[in-house]
Structure 1
Amino acid sequence: MIAKQSRIVDRALTRLKLRQLRLLVAVGSHGNIQNAARELGISQPAATKMIQDLEIDFEVKLFTRTNRGVVPTVFGDTLIRHGKLIFAQVSSAAQELDDLNEGNSGRVIVGTLLAASTKLLPAAITTVLRERPKVAIKISEGTNEVLMPALLSGEIDLVVGRLPSHRHRNKLLQEKLFEDRVIAVVGNDHPLAHAKSLPFERIKPFGWILPPLETTLRRQVDQFFISQHQYSPPFAIESVSYLANRALLQSSDWIGLMPAEVIQQDVENGYLSVLDWDVPFGQSPIGLTYRSDNSLSPAGHAFKDALHRAVKDR
């Protein structure tokens, strides 16, 4: 087994070409060798030969033919995933060289979830730009289901927000920054805005703004609703847009679930009210997730350090 692995590694280091990886990624994207070959400007027979050579070198079958084209095998999926990561690293290196050439002193791409976007992230950005004013920073917002695959493929350098509880944890490094809790919020004119010690029974008649189905918080919400005699809200919407959620809460009788860190400033400024109801779910660690220390550029390490400092100054 060790001899076979050594043989495959040697072939990969001496014979694998970026052009072959580009073809694999293109075939995986198109599900069709002909379209992938056209994208790379080569003939279909040449593309087929390149794939066959790869299968011989790695001693595995990379694609399965179907009536609609080709589908990657588990081996093909693995090689495509690593190919994407290689190209992302090459692109990152080229971008970093270009930034240095232009005097920008590096670049960092940060994925963020709602829980980190209002205070923690701006504080870290301010620190980085104060100390490294020429660093280029790009922020990408989304859910873990969107951001984690982008992090794994190298499109994002690190993700800041609620730490994923199950998926992706074995492939990535996580650092907890602090614990956050979820609170129920409403508009100031909501009938329950000023009520005290609310039982869940008084909350039931109202509609809810809920997190998306694929999130950990939504699973916790659904489990709680089930425990409340299979409670189903009279109406509900799914949204991760904070601006839209705030506008809905201010103009109607909806109830929203928000991380305390996110909503604090709007509550203090009098834009929204917190329901006097102890939300029995939703407490979770807020932190940062990244591939490895070696995957971070100097700018990425600076951003990571700034996040830790921002937590201490909270």
Structure 2
Amino acid sequence: MTVWKGKNPVSIETAKRVRQRLSGSIDMHGTFDMAILSRLRFKQLALVASLEVTTNLHESARELNLSQPGATKLLKEVEDTLGVTLFERLSRGMKPTAYGVVVARHARQIISETGRLKAQLSAMQRGEYGKVRLGAIMEALPGQVSELLMNLMETNVGPQISLMVSTSDNLISALNEGALDIVLGRPVEHLDMTGIRFEPLWQERLAVVAAPSHPLVPSKQLSLVDLGDFSWILQPRPSPMRMSIELAFAHADLPAPHYGLETSSMLMTTLAVGKSDMLAVLPQSVADYYQENGLIRILPVRLEEHMSRYGLLIPNKDEFDPEVEALVSLIRASV
């Protein structure tokens, strides 16, 4: 199995080998662990993380306030420490190897956790609860997330929440890089899920929506055939909703719907639908909310179910900060 990040294929086996080199064994008395701890430095990790993005040693050196010879030395040191080549030296810049992609991701996680440690200590000094970085797909907002946040604000007991709303693929990437603590979403097949465990909690249906003035709105019953002449607004691949609507058309032996706009923003989708004859698919809970506010109408067409359950996506680790565990417990209790 291969995981893709940009143009670089990374096998699951490669990711596991490099992860093992970075984390070492559980026994912190092992000589390999101590060799890594004594030789790896934050500036080396910051350079790897930056270089994967810039692919230019001079630019990364300037970004980190290093001389180019100093950056070259740091990169050689980290490659020697890990025993792998992280970047191919090309005539025009640097290209991350499969090892470089994995190490850069772990470097971002370590740097992110260091910033989180500082923020948590500052919050403790102010007598505040810690902050939890929660990611959520849009369909979780009208029910689970909004109720959870309202309860936390009303009781004033619990962690502070930093909320990121996006598609599952973006949220999983952020979770893998340490930018989020937990996610309410779905597994995505083409992403590296080896460091994440999934707890399915909720099932969500999809609804086809149109403007209140759309010519199909007065219809009592519709099929997918009736929708083929209209342009659509679709989420980008590989979002589960995009795959679900395309599978529904394929199973009905119909060509994939023609789309005039591709966006992951459900607000943009709703605004564009409301001002045109385009159609779109939304999670049922989101569609119900916008219909109640008069922005769209749900069309009487039933989609064959292809959406998997969504739920908690949690990093695989033995210990979490107390505020993260508290929020996970609250989410589980809400089901």
Query: Normalising by structure 1, what TM-score?
Result: 0.86
Q: Which residue of the other structure, out of 283, 297, 301, is the alignment partner of 2:325?
A: 301
C-alpha spacing 1:275/1:202, structure 2 compared with 1 (3 Å): same
Give the structure 2 partner of residue 215 of structure 1.
Answer: 239
1:200 aligns with 2:207: no
Contact 1:115 1:286 in 2 (8 A): no
With CA pairs under 8 Å and 6+ residues apart, which has the higher RCO, 1 or 2? 1
> For this pair of structures, how many residues does the alignment match?
310
Q: Distance in 2 between matches of 1:259 and 1:285?
A: 12
CA distance in structure 1 between the partners assigned to 2:282 and 2:261 by the alignment: 14
Alignment pair present for 1:252 and 2:276: yes
Aligned-partner Cα distance in 2 for 1:220–1:119? 22
Q: Which blocks of at least 5 consecutive residues in structure 1 are unaligned?
A: none
- The alpha-carbon deviation at position 293 of structure 1 amounts to 5.4
**Change in CA separation of 1:70 and 1:301 when aligned onto 2, cut-off 3 Å:** same
Q: What amino acid is aligned across from residue 211 of structure 1 in structure 2?
A: Q
Classify 1:202/1:38 alpha carbon distance in 2 versus 1 (closer, same or farther; 3 Å): closer
Task: Give the corresponding residue for 2:212.
Answer: 188
Say whether the 8 Å CA contact 2:224–2:249 is kept in structure 1.
no
Residues 208 and 230 (structure 1), Cα distance of their counterparts in 2 relative to 1, 3 Å cut:
same
Change (3 A) 1:52 1:249: closer
Tell me what 1:19 maps to: 43
- Equivalent residue runs for 1:80-99 within 5 Å: 80-99=104-123
Identity of aligned residues (%): 26
Tell me which of 276, 279, 282 is aligned to 2:303: 279
Q: Equivalent residues in 2 for 1:46-195 (5 A)?
A: 46-133=70-157, 135-165=159-189, 167-195=191-219
CA 281–54 in structure 1, closer or farther in 2 if over 3 Å, else same: same
* Aligned-partner Cα distance in 1 for 2:49–2:32: 20
- 2:266, 2:47 → 1: CA distance? 40
Q: Structure 1, residues 222-263: CA drift from partner, whole Å, max 9, x if none?
A: 233345555254553223333333333333333221111222
CA RMSD of aligned residues (A): 2.8
Render the CA deviation track for 1:67-123: whole Å, top value 9, x for unaligned: 112222222222222111111111111111112222331101111211112221111
Partner Cα distance (1:14, 1:113) in 2: 40
The answer to whether the 8 A contact 1:225-1:231 is kept is yes
Cα offset, 1:8, TM superposition: 4.3
- Work out which of the residue numbers 34, 42, 46 in structure 2 matches 1:10: 34
The question of whether the paired residues in 2 share the 8 Å contact of 1:165 and 1:216 is answered with: no
Q: After the TM superposition, which of the residue ranges 86-95 and 142-151 deviates more from structure 2?
A: 142-151
Corresponding residue number in structure 1 for 2:9? none
Letter in 2 for 1:189: S
